[in-house]
Amino acid sequence: DAGVIQSPRHEVTEMGQEVTLRCKPISGHDYLFWYRQTMMRGLELLIYFNNNVPIDDSGMPEDRFSAKMPNASFSTLKIQPSEPRDSAVYFCASSSRPLLTDTQYFGPGTRLTVL
Amino acid sequence: SQQGEEDPQALSIQEGENATMNCSYKTSINNLQWYRQNSGRGLVHLILIRSNEREKHSGRLRVTLDTSKKSSSLLITASRAADTASYFCAWDDMRFGAGTRLTVKP
C-alpha cells in the first residue's frame, strides 16, 4: 500500500484566497483524521471522520475551515478565505480503529504558507 | 500544549548513549501512544501502552506509564544518529504533547 497520500505537498497562496487540501487514506481504513501543526500550538486534531461521516469537528478553528469526505478514498480540507495565521503543516491520518485504540498512519503533510 | 507537557524540549546526546523523554498529561486516560517525527515528515507510530500496563518494550524502546502521576517516559537505548527526530506522546482523544527534539551526534 502507498500509505496516506496528501496533495499538494506545498502550497503558497495569498491572503483571501481559497485553499483546498486533499487526502487519500489507506484503503480499508474507516477513520480519517485532519491535524494542523504549528510551532506555537503544536499538533492539533481538527476533525475526524468515521465511514465518511464527520464525528468530531470541535477542533476546527472557525467557520472558514470546512472538511468533507465524499467517499471512502478521498477527503478535503478547505480554508476560505485563507489568512496568514493559517500557515502551518496540515496532516491527514487514517486508522482502522477509533481514536488512540490503534495505530494512526500519517501522510507526509501539506505545508501551507499564506502571504 | 495546554493539555500536557513533554520534557525536555530538546535533548542532545552522543551515539550509543540512552535517551529518556518524559510526557505528562492532565486527564484520565485509556491509552497512551508515542510517535516519532522526522524533520519535514509525518508522524510514525512507535508504541502504544494501555492504562493497565506499567511498562512495554519494543526493540530498543522502553515505555513506562504511571497513571497515578499522569506521566509516561520513553527510553531509547543505544541511540543511533538515525534516531534524531522529534518524539511526541498522545493520549485518548489524540491530544499531543509539545514534543522532545532529540539529536544524536555520531
Q: Å from B11 to nearest chain A CA?
A: 17
B12-30 pLDDT per residue, tens: 999 999 999 999 988 888 8
Of B21, B45, B39, the closest CA to residue B94 belongs to: B45
Q: How far is the C-alpha of A24 from the C-alpha of A30, rounded, in Å?
A: 12
Q: What is the DSSP letter of A26?
A: P
Chain A residues with CB-CB distance to B under 8 A?
A: 4, 33, 35, 42-45, 48, 91, 93, 99-109
Nearest to A45 among B31, B94, B99 (CB): B94
B7 pLDDT tier (thresholds 50, 70, 90) = confident
* Residue type (1 letter), A54: P
Q: How far is the C-alpha of A101 from the C-alpha of A76, rounded, in Å?
A: 24
A106·B43 Cβ contact <8 A: yes
Q: A33: which chain B residues are within 8 Å (Cβ-Cβ)?
A: 94
Contact B9, B54 (CB under 8 A): no
Nearest to A99 among B40, B88, B93 (CB): B93
| Below-70 pLDDT ranges, chain A | 1, 99-101
Q: How do the residues of chain B divide into helix, strand and coil, expressed in percent and rounded to 5?
A: 5, 60, 40
Q: Å from B8 to nearest chain A CA?
A: 15
Beta strands in chain A (DSSP E): 5-7, 10-13, 19-24, 31-38, 42-50, 53-56, 65-71, 74-79, 88-95, 105-106, 110-114
B47-99 pLDDT per residue, tens: 999 999 999 999 999 999 999 999 999 999 999 999 999 999 998 777 788 89
Residue B1 has pLDDT above 70, yes or no: no
A45·B41 Cβ contact <8 A: no
Q: B93: which chain A residues are within 8 Å (Cβ-Cβ)?
A: 45, 99-100
Q: How far is the C-alpha of B33 from the C-alpha of B11, rounded, in Å?
A: 20
Whether residue B42 lies within 8 A of chain A, CB to CB, comes out as yes
B3 pLDDT tier (thresholds 50, 70, 90) = low
Nearest to B33 among A35, A44, A100 (CB): A100
